[in-house]
Chains A and B, each alone.
Chain A
Amino acid sequence: MSDQAENPRIADQGIIHAEVYDLGAQALSLIDAGRGLYSLFVRTLYYTFRGRREKGAVAKEMFEIGNRSLFFLCVTMGCIGMIMVYQSGLQTQRIVPDFSLLGPTYLELLVRDFAASIGALMLSTRVGAGIAAEIGSMVVTEQVDALRMSAADPVDYLIVPKFLASLLMTTVLIVIAGTIAFITGFATASVFFDVSADAYFSMKLIDAGDVITGATKCVAYGAAIPIVSGYCGLSTHGGSEGVGWATTRAVVNCSLAIIILNFFISGAALIIFQP
């Protein structure tokens, strides 16, 4: 409170003070957000094991997150599959005119990274925005306060079903979308670079490390999307305009979370699985 009272005085003292003040305020809000996310995550985990669950809530969320994202995810991943193979084909063409490794290498990349990361980025735009808009409008219309008044923790009632559903459906969706990306990639490879099906559909470069890395990413992203967007939704304030802001922040923060998680998981996997 006293900070806000001092704010105009600090602004008067010149641009450097104002900049430092801004920087400090931003750092503080970042720390706050980190703490809020952590506490939400812990409470979600707690209620996952200890909470009481409404019958069918998880199934409903699974339909909402899974089935309704399937078409969108398949279209985007189908497109990216074609683009990826086309670009890497062009890239290969410049050094070695040998396309026998195109399919296996692409599959390895897909399993290890692209299917999970690009798929999750797409999911965060659809699922993350949906969760934040839903919870945000509940906050703004005071339905969340009503839940608290009825002694139902909004985390237990709203976040946990989405968390469980997203954990499972993200993995399922990514496996389906990754398969589609691989198949559309084959279409490009056979039309533009004359790659035969035998050479393309080969799993010789996949090892346990790739599969574990990919699976870890699916689970990590599946957990991150509902937590981050749920946090953005729950911290909505300021009426209907606030819901728009919450949605925007959810999409941006989910994407950011995915990219940062990707960096750490990939780095760890590189250190663990590469001798």
Chain B
Amino acid sequence: MSAAQPLEAPKNSGLTNLLESIGGSALAIFEVVGGMTVLFARILSRLVRFQFDLPEFKRSLYKMAVKSLPIVFVVALFTGAIVVIQAAPLVKRISGAESLLGWGAGFGVLREIGPLLTALTISGRVGANNTAELGTMVVTEQIDALRALAIDPISFLIVPRFLGIIITLFAMVLYADALALVGAAYTGQGFLGVTPRTFYDGLTTLLHFSDVANGLIKSIVFGLMIALSSCHFGLATKGGAPGVGRAVNAMVVAAAAGIFIVDFLVSFVMG
């Protein structure tokens, strides 16, 4: 009975096909979200009992955080510079806005652009790499080998990487915020003649700790998003070597979409 139905599918009209593809994508999205939730619950259950491999955690932190410093450095400096370049016409239009440049750039960088761009960079560099690594392990049956040796793959492989990505992103956002502000200050001097001193005055008098905290909380949420999608897609890899490529691609897309959606929600919740 049920076997006969798929044979009739090609005869369907355009509308049915459309509905079918919409339903299919919706199911696929739910599958990903559900898989990530289950994975998160599993990770939490190991985390509360401190069941994870400490050496692996340290290795992941080195590989993820220390090795990402150069790219975060470049991206942050240029980002800060771009923010000031984009603000320049506004500053020129309104007289006396020089003293507000530090505040404006700081507001944008600390609350929004710093965490967002760092998260996208880390998701591309660390998240995708992690997915590729886990995916290769799944495809070459190394995860099954771990299970056969009675080693829990979640506490041995996943929790260290999960924690590693979250801590990496948090630390990198701290660096990126500082570097972007330095880049912004000196670009302001170069293009607009605003001295770095005026810039920092505007920055410190008009911004509050809540603005910095806002960005840092975002970075933790983004880290959670990247870590979960990277581990989920890595573990869900199937179909040999091409499957690893597909998993990496799917992870990058899911993490980017997830970061934006979460960013939107967090921005509104925290105001």
Contacts and interface: CB of A to CB of B under 8 A. Distances in A.
Contacts of A117: 82
Majority SS of interface residues in chain B? helix
A253 to B, nearest CB: 9
What interface size band does chain B fall in?
A: 35 or more
A255 interface: yes
A48 interface: no
A91 B107 contact: yes
Contacts of A202: none
Interface stretch (B9-17, B50-58, B129-137, B162-170): B129-137
Contacts of B204: none
B85 A266 contact: yes
Interface-central residue, A83, A113, A247, A263, by most chain B CB under 10 Å: A247
A255 B85 contact: no
B191 interface: yes
A76 B71 CA distance: 23
Interface string B164-208: 000000000000000000000000000100000000000000100
A95 interface: yes
B245 interface: yes
Contacts of B133: 244
Given A91-B104, A244-B132, A259-B78, A80 B260 contact: yes
Contacts of B271: 90
B211 to A, nearest CB: 10
Interface stretch (B35-43, B119-127, B145-153): B119-127
B78 A262 contact: yes
A75 B267 CA distance: 16
A255 B132 contact: no
A216 interface: no
A239 B128 contact: no
Contact of A259 (B75, B86, B88): B75
Contact of B129 (A79, A80, A245): A245
B111 interface: yes
B245 A244 contact: yes
A85 B237 CA distance: 38
Interface-central residue, A72, A113, A267, by most chain B CB under 10 Å: A267
A82 interface: yes
Given A72-B257, A94-B206, 13 more contacts: A83-B260, A91-B107, A121-B120, A125-B256, A126-B249, A133-B249, A137-B245, A245-B129, A247-B128, A247-B132, A247-B252, A248-B125, A266-B82
Interface of B: 71, 74-75, 78-79, 81-82, 85-86, 88-90, 92, 100, 104, 107-108, 111-112, 117, 120-121, 123-125, 128-129, 131-133, 135-136, 139, 191, 206, 240-242, 244-246, 248-249, 252-253, 256-257, 260-261, 263-264, 267-268, 271
21 contacts: A82-B264, A83-B260, A87-B108, A91-B104, A109-B86, A113-B86, A126-B249, A126-B252, A126-B256, A240-B240, A240-B241, A243-B244, A247-B132, A247-B249, A247-B252, A248-B132, A251-B125, A251-B252, A255-B121, A266-B86, A274-B89
